[in-house]
Amino acid sequence: MKHINEYIRHATFQKKMIPGFNVFGYEDSLAVVKAAEQANAPVLLMVNRDARRVMNIKHWGALLNSIASQASVPVGVHLDHCTELKSIQLAIENGFTSVMYDGSKLPLNENIMNTHQVVCLAREKGVAVEGEVGSVPYDDLGETRSEMTLPEEAWQFCQESQVDWLAVSVGNIHRLHEGKAKLDFSRLESIESLCQTPLVIHGASGIGSDDINKLKEHHVAKVNIGTVLRRAFGEALRQSFQENPAVYDRLTLFEKPAQQLEKVAYEIICQLK
Ligand code: G3H
Ligand code: ZN
């Protein structure tokens, strides 16, 4: 079986995109992997800041690598949106297959310098590094204005940092509902005409299916998805409580939400592959 990072590298020019799903525990991680197995497609399990707040990187590394090692499809373990070098080092030591250094809020030169430092740490362990130029805003934090990626800055960033994957801001916004994002495809074209680096689109929950299909025609190799799965799980959990007022056991209460999340993940994986 090819390494997950190989799949991402090849996806760039193959009209496919590999999904990275934010996961928050055992049940949803397993559900995502089951969906990937059913679709016979590679997938990334991503650990974001919220997930790291409730469980440390060592535990995440052990849990997700154990799930990944038993899967019949390539499963990557990715550290999502990280600004601290120490956490990145810990993730590299604990079997993560890729890490994102998020210097998107820093001046370009500082972002380049720090990202390059992470690339040097990661490369010798075969861990891929994702960086970000421009900044993808968070709708739930009231950040309505995107700092769109400037193509020349993207080029300079890729040249100097030697990053493996580049996250770009082209109208995509974190935590929106489907179809609300308005993507600037001409900006994306300018970026990819200058950079050969596989591109990453964050905030995919907010992108409608027509635009997702259009993204496949571009050099986008990885898309990040979180909100849509959290909603699927949360709404089904609420229904579980309502339908079973006497049940208090999480093993029972989580059954349907995990199935619902698996269904949504499966549909997304099929659309991207
Ligand atoms: O890094 C994580 C993603 O960008 C998820 O974004 O929750 O809007 O799908 P989303
Ligand atoms: Zn993101």
pLDDT, one tens digit per residue, over 208-229 is 999 999 999 999 999 999 999 9
Task: Please give all residues whose CB falls under 5 A of ion ligand 2, grouped by chain where several chains appear.
Answer: 202, 224
Question: Could you tell me which residues come within 8 angstroms of residue 143 by beta carbon, excluding any fewer than 6 positions away?
Answer: 137, 173
Euclidean distance between CA atoms 192 and 215, whole angstroms? 12
> In the predicted model, what is the mean pLDDT of residues 25-35?
98
Q: What is the DSSP string of the chain?
A: ---HHHHHHHHTTTT--EEEEE--SHHHHHHHHHHHHHHT--EEEEE-HHHHHHS-HHHHHHHHHHHHHT-SS-EEEEEEEE--HHHHHHHHHTT-SEEEE--TTS-HHHHHHHHHHHHHHHHTTT-EEEEEESB--BGGGT--S-BPPPHHHHHHHHHHH--SEEEE-SS--BTPPTT-----HHHHHHHHHH--SPEEE--GGGS-HHHHHHHTTTTEEEEEE-HHHHHHHHHHHHHHHHH-TT---HHHHTHHHHHHHHHHHHHHHHHH-
Mean pLDDT, the chain, rounded, equals 96
pLDDT, one tens digit per residue, over 97-155 is 999 999 999 999 999 999 999 999 999 999 999 999 999 998 777 766 669 999 999 99
**Do 225 and 269 meet the contact criterion of CB atoms below 8 Å apart?**
no
Given pLDDT bands bounded at 50, 70 and 90, which one contains residue 26?
Answer: very high
Determine if residue 174 is labeled as part of a ligand binding site.
yes
Fold classified for 4-272: TIM Barrel (3.20.20)
pLDDT, one tens digit per residue, over 50-66 is 999 999 999 999 999 99
Whether 244 has a pLDDT exceeding 80, the answer reads yes
pLDDT at site 146: 66
pLDDT at site 180: 86
Query: How much distance in Å is there from the Cα of 136 to the middle of ligand 1?
Result: 10
pLDDT at site 11: 92
Euclidean distance between CA atoms 204 and 181, whole angstroms? 9
Q: What is the DSSP string of 17-49?
A: -EEEEE--SHHHHHHHHHHHHHHT--EEEEE-H
pLDDT at site 145: 64
pLDDT at site 144: 61
Given pLDDT bands bounded at 50, 70 and 90, which one contains residue 13?
Answer: confident
| Catalytic (active-site) positions | 80
169 lines ligand 1 (CB under 6 A): no
Euclidean distance between CA atoms 204 and 209, whole angstroms? 10
In the chain, what are the domain boundaries?
4-272
Determine if residue 81 is labeled as part of a ligand binding site.
yes
pLDDT at site 192: 96
Q: List Cα–Cα distances, 222 to 145, 165, 251, in angstroms.
A: 23, 9, 32
Which residue, 262, 268, 272, is CA-closest to 28? Answer: 262
The closest-lying atom of ligand 1 relative to the alpha carbon of residue 22 is: 2
The closest-lying atom of ligand 1 relative to the alpha carbon of residue 136 is: 4
Backbone angles phi, psi at 146, to 5 degrees: -80, 145
> In the predicted model, what is the mean pLDDT of residues 193-210?
97
